[in-house]
Amino acid sequence: MLDLLHTTKTHDETRQGEAVELAPTGKADGRKLYIESYGCQMNFSDSEIVASILIDQGFETTKDYKEADVVFINTCSIRENAEQRVRNRLKEFEAAKAKNPGLVVGVLGCMAERLKSKFLEEEKLVDVVVGPDAYRDLPNLINKVEDGNKAVNVLLSREETYADISPVRLNTNGVSAFISIMRGCDNMCSFCVVPFTRGRERSRDAVSIVKEAQDLFNAGYKEVTLLGQNVDSYKYTPKVEDGQEPLPTINFANLLEMVAQVSPELRIRFSTSHPKDITDEVLYTMAKYENICKYIHLPVQSGNSRVLELMNRTYDREWYMERVDAIRRIMPDCAISTDVITGFCTETEEEHAETLSMMDYVKYDFAYMFAYSERPGTLAAKRYEDDIPEDVKKRRLTEVVNKQQIHSLERIQQYVGKVHKVLIEGFSKRSDKDYCGRNDQNTMVVFPVDTRYKVGDYVNVLGESCTSATLIGKIVD
């Protein structure tokens, strides 16, 4: 699942766990739209779909919520503090609504789906509540609010993939873009709300995915990230006319190859992989194509088989280690990142130690780490007592973070003294005298600006030094 958010991190991720507002765009009819997105990459991708739908209705987007006619927050429900951030942000919109009583305030996404109409009762400021599968209904819902009503649509769908909607690229650097390849999740991990907030898994038409990748490349984009809660379970069977022979089902390895063949100049990334589903076929496809980045996010959650069973992860410690061995065997230069949960229900000190030993075995390049947070409605909340004291959870989390910092530094040090192909994504956050971009293994690289090159160019960078999160170097010919 895409559970890469609101966590303790050991590397620089640009768009996770933070609000992102829309850059001005659209064909205005006088109404302005403002969106903030929180949480995982899928939420940011969904906001681009929402913007496309409303721009077609005549809206233009704005970076300033104080001048907007419609304000949306695209929400996350994976942890309690993620929801609290949304509630706090809504309170900040109260002054804007007081000055503009006609302002429409809406909550989109997973939090909307989880709380449904109850949200309108809890947050009097909110006018619209819309789940992830109901964005096509937004124009109708906004009209209802403008007529003086509250509006809710949280119906989940078994078919909706928004395949026919061309997302509006927001806050973009014009270099990298997301492509949603599937929606929903069938993995009932006991700690996770995603199956309840995003519905059942369904894969998008492969032809539309390839077309979107081609259109992005034609528009100057150099990198796409294929998104799904579990990309390795992607499965699409092409429709045929009556009397035609059935066409073979397209799996994730097939899709990866199709997108990679758009152009060798288009880099391909993807997220997220599930250890039970990632196959050698996917790994060999990655190894075959130079433009498929050698980086896999492979959430482990726990290094102990009993805890993994309680989490309903459907693999054990040995299976996970075998998948890591396969990655190392087929792609020795592949980077691996992960998610770790500390203090899950009934976890013992010995079982926590197995998570630490798993980290030693894999030596992750980076990780997203957090203490267990019980979410209402999940299988864990129904079945198990959240019995690990908070101070124990936090102490175990500290031990995990400290170990990961050691491994992150160890992994990135191997890139010093080597030349890396880097896609220039923009200027460094700290100085406009430095460019930044990522290498094949998703490591952030910072290097002095060379006027011969611009954002969107590939350059060769010699790694000269590093921190635990960043490789520092210079462009070489």
pLDDT of the residue at 157? 86
The C-alpha atoms of residue 359 and residue 408 are separated, in whole angstroms, by: 11
| Between residues 37 and 319, the one the model is more confident about | 319
Side chain identity, residue 209: I
If you average pLDDT over each of 88-97, 139-148, 156-165, 318-327, which comes out highest?
318-327
Residue 104 pLDDT > 80, yes or no?
A: yes
pLDDT above 90 covers a percentage of the chain that reads 68
Residue 465 phi/psi, 5-degree rounding, is: -160, 180
Minimum mean pLDDT range among 105-114, 185-194, 275-284: 105-114
358-371 residue pLDDT tens = 999 999 999 999 99
Q: Locate tokens 């927001």: which residue?
A: 170
Q: How would you classify the pairing of strands 470-475 and 458-466?
A: antiparallel
- Average pLDDT of the residues in 187-195: 91
Q: What is the pTM of this model?
A: 0.86
**The tokens of 441 are what?**
């293994």
Residue 3 pLDDT > 50, yes or no?
A: no
Distances, alpha carbon 259 to alpha carbons 160, 165, 224, 359, 388, in Å: 22, 18, 9, 32, 45
Question: 329, exposed or middle or buried, with CB in 10 Å at 0-12, 13-18, 19+?
Answer: exposed
Q: Locate tokens 């992960």: which residue?
A: 338
**What confidence tier does 21 reach under pLDDT thresholds 50, 70, 90?**
very low
| Between residues 375 and 416, the one the model is more confident about | 416
How would DSSP label each residue in 44-61? HHHHHHHHHHHHTTT-EE
274-312 residue pLDDT tens = 999 999 999 999 999 999 999 999 999 999 999 999 999
pLDDT of the residue at 315? 98
- Average pLDDT of the residues in 164-180: 84
Residue 254 pLDDT > 90, yes or no?
A: yes
* Angle of CA points 260, 264, 269, to nearest 5°: 45
* Angle of CA points 102, 103, 107, to nearest 5°: 135
pLDDT of the residue at 340? 98
59-91 residue pLDDT tens = 998 988 988 999 999 988 777 777 788 888 888
Kindly report whether the peptide bond that precedes residue 272 is cis, defined as omega within 30 degrees of 0.
yes
| Between residues 46 and 476, the one the model is more confident about | 476
Tell me the domains of the chain and their CATH numbers: 8-153 (3.40.50.12160), 176-413 (3.80.30.20), 419-475 (2.40.50.140)
444-468 residue pLDDT tens = 999 999 999 999 999 999 999 999 9
User: How high does pLDDT run on average in the chain?
Assistant: 89
Q: How would you classify the pairing of strands 419-427 and 434-438?
A: antiparallel
pLDDT of the residue at 171? 65
Nearest partner of 371 among 78, 151, 91, 89, judged by Cα: 78
The C-alpha atoms of residue 382 and residue 144 are separated, in whole angstroms, by: 37
The C-alpha atoms of residue 183 and residue 158 are separated, in whole angstroms, by: 9
**What confidence tier does 124 reach under pLDDT thresholds 50, 70, 90?**
confident
pLDDT of the residue at 195? 84
110 is in an annotated binding site: yes
Region for 40 from its dihedrals, namely left if φ exceeds 0, alpha if ψ lies in -120 to 50, beta otherwise: beta
Question: 432, exposed or middle or buried, with CB in 10 Å at 0-12, 13-18, 19+?
Answer: exposed
Residue 459 phi/psi, 5-degree rounding, is: -135, 155
Residue 112 pLDDT > 70, yes or no?
A: yes
pLDDT of the residue at 8? 35
Minimum mean pLDDT range among 123-132, 212-221, 258-267, 282-291: 123-132
293 is in an annotated binding site: no
**What confidence tier does 404 reach under pLDDT thresholds 50, 70, 90?**
very high
334 is in an annotated binding site: no
Residue 196 pLDDT > 90, yes or no?
A: no
**What confidence tier does 95 reach under pLDDT thresholds 50, 70, 90?**
confident
- Average pLDDT of the residues in 6-23: 38
